[in-house]
Amino acid sequence: MSVALSRLPGDFLDYYLGQGYYRMGQNLFTCEFLPLETGLYTTHWLRLVVSRVTYGPKQRRLFRLNERFSVASRPFRLTPEYEALYARYHQSIDFEANPSLADLLLEGGAHNVFDTSIMEVRDGEQLIAAGVFDRGTDSIAGIVNFYDPAYHRHSLGKYLMLLKLEHARRQQLAYYYPGYLVHGYPKFDYKLFACAAATEVFNARTHQWRPFSWEEVNRQAAALLAERQERDQAREYN
């Protein structure tokens, strides 16, 4: 399901994020399932309650590891520097992704209907990582992180999550939405890195946010798959 947009005010973005929607190109979409070569998996949308976030040893260690890098946040404008970094990143990944930043964010166009910012991480003058996020009235949504593969030991994708979270904290925002994880497919579990205790998971059946736990995700996944099986059986009979 998707919602076509001409312009989206911040409070509208907050509302749709709160209903389990997310940005894709210049639209908002939601989904309950992710088909992969290995099977059909359930998706579970996440958000962090910013006021409840606390850091443990792993997060503090990552801040120390990267403390020599400079960080800046600015309004997003597509530049050759960003595209060049994204191209290096794209060549290094082992999963399907948009071939360019323009394609991912703007669908090849020039107009952006979202209030979008970018977090830059630089080693001296060199841009080594960047994270794009959209701003609502009371929340931010992390859209994409990309980085120079030569700096892989610095865990810059996770570092950018922490930087976005700190930005939300400084702005006194309520929520940070990092996207979804996938039941039974650990590739997306990194989205719990910042603070699992402050993370909530969206229940698509009740439209409520619940404190994250794997038990809650397991229950939701079982219910979604059972409902899908019932629908498939009903279609067969009809």
Which amino acid belongs to residue 104? L
The residue segments making up the domain with residue 189 are 2-237
Burial category of 160 from C-beta neighbours within 10 Å (exposed 0-12, middle 13-18, buried 19 and up): buried
Q: Is the pLDDT of residue 48 over 50?
A: yes
Q: Give the dihedral of Cα atoms 75, 79, 143, 18; nearest 10 deg.
A: 40
DSSP state at residue 112: -
pLDDT tens string 217-230? 999 999 999 998 88
Whole-prediction pTM value? 0.93
Q: Pairing state of beta strands 126-135 and 116-123?
A: antiparallel
Q: What is the mean pLDDT of residues 165-171?
A: 97
For the residues of 17-71, what is the DSSP string, one character each? HHTT-EEETTEEE--SEEEETTEEEEEEEEEEEGGG----HHHHHHHHHTTTSEE
Q: What is the mean pLDDT of residues 64-90?
A: 97
Label each residue of 150-173 as H, E or C: HHHHHCHHHHHHHHHHHHHHHCCC
- Please tell me the predicted confidence (pLDDT) of residue 190: 96
- Please tell me the predicted confidence (pLDDT) of residue 233: 75
pLDDT band per the 50, 70, 90 thresholds, residue 95: confident
Q: Is 103 left (phi over 0), alpha (psi -120 to 50) or beta?
A: alpha
Partnered with residue 139 across adjacent β-strands are: 175
Residue 152's φ and ψ, nearest 5 degrees, are -60, -30
pLDDT band per the 50, 70, 90 thresholds, residue 91: very high
Spatial CA neighbour of 142 closest among 107, 121, 114: 114
- Please tell me the predicted confidence (pLDDT) of residue 174: 98
- How many structural domains comprise the chain? 1
- Please tell me the predicted confidence (pLDDT) of residue 229: 85
Q: What is the mean pLDDT of residues 52-65?
A: 98
Q: Is the pLDDT of residue 3 over 70?
A: no
Spatial CA neighbour of 145 closest among 184, 203, 176, 101: 101
- Please tell me the predicted confidence (pLDDT) of residue 1: 46
Distance CA 203, CA 213 (A): 12
Q: What is the mean pLDDT of residues 71-95?
A: 95
pLDDT band per the 50, 70, 90 thresholds, residue 97: confident
Q: Is the pLDDT of residue 70 over 70?
A: yes
- Please tell me the predicted confidence (pLDDT) of residue 109: 79
Cα 41 from chain centroid (whole Å): 18
Residue 151: both structure tokens together: 């700096």
Q: What is the mean pLDDT of residues 87-99?
A: 91
Q: Is the pLDDT of residue 138 over 90?
A: yes
- Please tell me the predicted confidence (pLDDT) of residue 5: 53
